[in-house]
Structure 1
Amino acid sequence: MSSLRPFHLAVPVKDLSETRAFYRDVMGFEEGRSSDKWVDFNFFGHQFVIHMASSSAESDTNPVDGKAVPVPHFGVVLNWEDWENLSAKLKSSEIEFVIEPYVRFEGEVGEQATMFFKDPSGNALEFKAFRNDSEIFSK
């Protein structure tokens, strides 16, 4: 692949107003086009859309590091400083974490900071940062 292109992701929500306020006011995402059934957001340069749906996606979990990781989930890989800033912002906003912010593989290849939480419609998000971005896909 020669260049990274923005992705497009659409997720179901049960309450458009509440979920819109979460992504706009808590997460700080810039709002784009919208209708009475959907809203576009700038998700770190990617097109993220919340859509009204009769039911939100059911989720399951997988065990990772002794924690129940929600599946499905989505997010973005931030740089370390931005991850720390977002973590602090979410903690001060009293977000209820599914998995509290922590560092995995400390001092090892692939060292990463991660955290999981859900939006008001139950969509699971993971934000992470690698100590060294060149190790994102390392084994």
Structure 2
Amino acid sequence: MSLAPFHLAIPVDDLAAARDFYGKLLGFAEGRSDTRWIDWNFGGHQVVTHQVDGARPRAGSNPVDGHEVPVPHFGLVLPVPEFQRLAERLTAAGTEFVIEPHVRFQGEPGEQWTMFFLDPAGNALEFKAFAAPGRLFAV
């Protein structure tokens, strides 16, 4: 199977806040947009923030390596230097992490840097990095 960019549509309740978060804080390029949605170049993939009025339910969680991982969530696997730069930028911006940047599964085949945080609408994001990228699916 050949890999192609994925498309993900997520609800937000404030497009201006989404524009600040995804465009300015995370640094993703804005694509097409309209009055109720914005396309983002999310590391070569298309994430679309759609304006949805009303309250959003809180995500659940699942225990993983001693932390409560928010479910559902989405994000990117980055090279370690990019992960570190993003973690520093988020920390400097005062981001409230659900799970602080740290190394998970240390000494195991799936050892990885990971961090979780919420966008302004409460959507959970995970960014991770592997020192050995070929170990992404290691068991």
Normalized against structure 1, the TM-score is what? 0.94
CA offset at residue 57 of structure 1? 5.0
For this pair of structures, how many residues does the alignment match?
Answer: 138
CA offset at residue 19 of structure 1? 1.4
**Over the residues paired in the alignment, what is the CA RMSD in angstroms?**
1.1
1:41 is aligned to 2:75:
no
Matched with 1:53 is 52
Matched with 2:131 is 131
Kindly provide the CA deviation profile for residues 14-58 of structure 1, in whole angstroms up to 9, marking residues without a partner as x: 111111211111111110110110000100011110001134354
Aligned pairs for 1:23-42 within 5 A: 23-42=22-41
Contact 2:65 2:105 in 1 (8 A): no
Question: Secondary structure at 2:70's aligned position in 1?
Answer: strand
Matched with 1:122 is 122
| Large movers: runs of 4+ above 6 Å | none
Unaligned runs of 5+ in 2: none
Partner amino acid, structure 1, of 2:64: V
CA offset at residue 135 of structure 1? 1.1
Question: Secondary structure at 2:61's aligned position in 1?
Answer: strand
Question: Secondary structure at 1:109's aligned position in 2?
Answer: coil
Aligned pairs for 1:1-139 within 5 A: 1=1, 3-55=2-54, 56-139=56-139
Contact 2:12 2:52 in 1 (8 A): yes
C-alpha distance in 1 between matches for 2:21 and 2:135: 32
Contact 2:111 2:130 in 1 (8 A): yes
Unaligned runs of 5+ in 1: none
% of aligned pairs identical?
55
C-alpha distance in 2 between matches for 1:80 and 1:99: 17
Kindly provide the CA deviation profile for residues 55-92 of structure 1, in whole angstroms up to 9, marking residues without a partner as x: 43541011112211100000011111111111111111
Normalized against structure 2, the TM-score is what? 0.94
Contact 1:103 1:111 in 2 (8 A): yes
C-alpha distance in 2 between matches for 1:71 and 1:33: 28
Question: Secondary structure at 2:82's aligned position in 1?
Answer: helix
C-alpha distance in 2 between matches for 1:28 and 1:125: 14
